[in-house]
Amino acid sequence: MAKKKTTEAINREQEAMEEKEALPSFFTNLFSSASNPLPNRAVLEYNIMHSAPVKANTEGYRAMMKVDKRTAEDIKHRLPCITPSVQLKGNAKKLTDFRKETYWLMLDYDDVPPEDIAALKKKALKQPFTMVFYITVSGKGFRILLRYMRPEGCNLTATELHLLAIRKAMSMYDNLLGISSDKQCQDMVRSCGLAY
C-alpha cells in the first residue's frame, strides 16, 4: 500500500524543486531596474494574496482611475513586478542582461468583463500547466502564469523555445477561454506587474 505524503514532506519537495529551478527576476516596483531573483514562489503568492502595500496600491489605483488617470498610473508603478520568463542580471530589463530561462510563461488578458472572470478562472485552473491566476491591477483583466519544459535533446535557443512555447500556450488558452491574450506576451523579457 502506498504511503500518503505528509504536508511537511510535500513542502520539502517543493522547496527542493524551487532551489533547482531558476525563478523569475523580482523588482520592487515597475520603475526599478535592480534585478533580484524571486526568492521562492511563496514571495509571489504573498504579494498577490497578502501584502498590505500591494493591496493598498491595487485598491488605490482602482479608486483613482475614477478620479485622475495620471495619478492612478503613478500608483500602478509602485507595484512590484517580475519578469516571468527570465532571470536577469545587472540593472536592466533587457535580453542582454539574460542570466537564465525560467520556463515560465505569462498570458495577459485585458478588457474582460469582471462578471466573467470567475468562470474563466475555473477553466484556466483546471489546466495542468497553470501555476498562478490573478486579477490585474485594473480589475478588468487577469494574468495566468504557467510552466513549460525543455524537451530532452532540444537544440533551440532560449528565445526560440520561449517563442514556440508562448505561441502554443496562447493558442491553447485562447481557444479554451474564448478570448484573446495580449500578443506582447511573446516578449521574453516583458514585465508582469503584481496586483492584489
Span 68-84, pLDDT tens digits:
999 999 999 999 999 99
- 178 pLDDT exceeds 80? yes
Please give the Cα distance from 137 to 87 (Å, whole number).
23
Prediction pTM value: 0.85
Using the 8-state DSSP alphabet, how is residue 190 labeled? -
Amino acid letter at 32? S
Distances (CA, A) of 195 to 14, 21, 52, 65, 68: 24, 24, 11, 15, 19
18 band by pLDDT with thresholds 50, 70 and 90: very low
Is it the case that residue 54 has pLDDT exceeding 80?
Answer: yes
* Average confidence score pLDDT of the chain: 91
